[in-house]
Amino acid sequence: MNINFNIAPKSNFITYYLKKIMEKEYKKLFMNMEEVNPSSKLFEKIMLRISREEKLVIVKKRIAVFSVFLAISLGGFVYSFITVQNAFVSSGFTQFFSLIFSDFNIVIAYWQNFLFTLLESLPVFAMIISLVMFSIVLGFLTFLMKDMKFINSNNILRKKYGY
């Protein structure tokens, strides 16, 4: 039923008439409409999705923070690794160690002196710093991988089940 509201006079009678028509139409509409029976697990699913979305927000923030820390610690590790390399050269360790290849028989004959020389020239402090930096990098990488895995599993669930 088409009513041109532009030409309809604005009186109480017309408003009343229109309301009646609308009531009739709505009745028809709801009588023909199929009854919706929501799943019994819908509430559970909605709550699950809400909690997952909340966790996702936290995880995304954590990833951003961990990425920054990872970049910083990676820079620190590279710097400490270069320091260790230089320390090996400046302490004479590489020169002492090279004797194994050039004077193997003599080194074996005086192996105790050679071993002490190597141990004494080992840049232990620089190595410890470098190892600590490496473990920090690994730690941040582990956290980051866990969070990435969570996001990935979340995407898979969303694709598979739609929630």
Q: 124-161 vs 42-90: helix axis angle to the nearest 10?
A: 160
Judged by CB under 8 A, which of 102, 159, 160, 161 binds another protein? 102
CA 111 to chain centre: 51
Residues 71-100 that bind another protein (CB under 8 A): 86, 89-92, 95-96, 98-99
The region of 2-10, 15-23, 117-125, 137-145 touching another protein under the rule CB under 8 A is 117-125
By three-state DSSP, how is residue 1 classified? coil
Q: How many residues bind another protein (CB under 8 A)?
A: 23
The nearer residue to another protein, 11 or 112, going by C-beta atoms, is 112
Task: Quote the CA–CA distance of 131 and 50 in Å, as a whole number.
Answer: 41
For 38, the enclosing helix (H) or strand (E) is: none
Site for another protein in 7-36 (CB under 8 A): none
66 touching another protein, by CB under 8 A? no
Q: Taking the complex as a whole, how short is the minimal distance between the CB of residue 156 and another protein, in angstroms? A: 24
Phi, psi angles (nearest 5°) of residue 35: -75, 135
Which residue, 15 or 98, is less far from another protein as judged by CB? Answer: 98
Q: How far is the CB of 57 from another protein (least distance, A)?
A: 33
Neighbours of 133 (CB within 10 A): 21
**Distance separating alpha carbons of residues 54 and 77, to the nearest angstrom:** 34
Q: What amino acid occupies position 23?
A: E
Q: Which residues bind another protein (CB under 8 A)?
A: 86, 89-92, 95-96, 98-99, 102-103, 106-107, 109-110, 113-114, 116-117, 119-121, 124
